[in-house]
Amino acid sequence: MWILVGDGQSEDKILQTAERLGAEILWTRHYWKEFNGFNAAFRDPWGNEIVLWIKAGQDPKIPDGYTRE
């Protein structure tokens, strides 16, 4: 399942909350060119995989420390 992280929301806060509630973090800080988005993912306690997607915008600047395809 893909979830769009809205303006003013924090990927880190979402991941911290998910982990506190029993999720397993699968990856963070990745740029996916085909979708032009930054993303992270976790598996919830029931086994559902959730991918967070943040729009990268036009001419995205990929921060240091991010992986990419």
Query: Which stretch of DSSP H or E encloses residue 54?
Result: strand 49-55
Per-residue pLDDT, 69: 79
Are the CB atoms for 25 and 40 separated by under 8 Å? yes
Whole-prediction pTM: 0.88
- Single out the residue of 51, 9, 42, 2 nearest to residue 23, CA to CA: 42
- Report, as ranges of residue numbers, the positions in the chain whose pLDDT lies below 70: none
- Structural domain boundaries of the chain? 2-52
CA–CA separation, 8 and 26 (whole Å): 23
Cα of 3 vs its chain's centroid, Å = 8
Per residue in 48-61, pLDDT (tens digit) is 999 999 999 999 99
